[in-house]
Amino acid sequence: MFNFFKKRARLERFPFHLLKTDIHSHLLPGIDDGSPDEETSIGLIKGLIELGYENFVGTPHVMEDIWRNNPESIHGAQERLNSKLKEEGIEKHIGAAAEYLVDGHFEDLLKVKQPLLTIHKNWVLIEISFIQPPFQLKEVIFEMQMQGYQPVFAHPERYSYYHEKRDELLEIKHAGCYFQANLNSFSGYYGPDVMQAAEWLAKNGMIDLLGTDLHHERHLHALQGLEFTKPLQVAVEGMVVVE
């Protein structure tokens, strides 16, 4: 007799060591909706090390009137965390960049040519509103390029208004953006629609970078159970590895 309720075999765990560096996380303590303090950050970093990561870049939000972080607040949090890592005997050093929301504040930074914090080389991580896309996105991307930056579009799979307008994602990609997808998007953590969008991006060779976007322990626990699915295998084959 056939067992129709037989559990499917589990896939192998995602090989985090292949990524080497987590280029998108909210590990810097106390300056956005990520880790609230150094102790929490240390616990999250230990968890990421156990997964196989070697390096980390904190990318706190920079948002007008919400988390209006700047180089001083970000580097201050970085310094506190690196000091705590040293106290704990953890031989790791966390880098510092930002996740810039494309809003009026960000446009002002570009207008005055304020140096932007980069996740790697000249790469600048940007995000957009989850409610509606900014009308000026392509103009902002172009201005960033004119100032010598490589725009990196954070978690494009999570913007629901693009799920039925994937041609617009193609246009953003063709405008010269790198696409960074969240690893937990492939497990269904953010819902089936986001997972389908992530898989579509992978299938079409549009994912350049994979990041955790780690905010808290729930994200870490989801990563600990992440399976190496076929879409993730395809994404890894086409990604850029940051040493």
Q: For 143-168, what is each residue's pLDDT tens digit?
A: 999 999 999 999 999 999 999 999 99
Pick the CATH number of 22-238 from 3.20.20.140, 3.40.50.720, 3.20.20.410, 3.90.1150.10: 3.20.20.140
Alpha-carbon distances, residue 9 vs 30, 192, 227 (angstroms): 41, 21, 11
Q: Is the per-residue pLDDT at 31 higher than 70? A: yes
In whole angstroms, give the CA distance from residue 35 to residue 23.
16
Going through the chain in order, the beta strands assigned E by DSSP cover 21-25, 55-58, 61-62, 94-96, 99-101, 123-127, 150-154, 178-182, 209-211
pTM for the whole structure: 0.94
The rounded radius of gyration (Å) of the Cα atoms in the chain is: 18
Alpha carbon separation from 202 to 9, 18, 122, 179, 239 (Å, rounded)? 23, 17, 24, 10, 10
Q: Strand 178-182 and strand 209-211: pairing? A: parallel
pLDDT of residue 169: 97
Q: In the predicted model, is pLDDT for residue 179 greater than 90? A: yes
> Domains of the chain: which residue ranges?
22-238
Paired tokens of 11? 């896939």
Output the pLDDT for position 5.
47
- Nearest CA to 217 among 94, 22, 12, 41? 41
* pLDDT score of 99 more than 80: yes
Q: What is the mean pLDDT of residues 207-227?
A: 98
Share of the chain above pLDDT 70, in %: 96
Please say if the pLDDT value at position 7 is more than 60. no
The DSSP code for 199 is H
3-state secondary structure of 79: helix
- Residues 205-231 have a mean pLDDT of 98
**Which of 219, 229, 154 lies closest to 190 in space, CA to CA?**
219
Structural contact between residues 57 and 119, judged by C-beta atoms closer than 8 angstroms: yes
Ramachandran angles phi, psi of 173, nearest 5° = -60, -45
pLDDT at position 239 is: 87
What is the enclosing helix (H) or strand (E) of 166?
helix 166-174
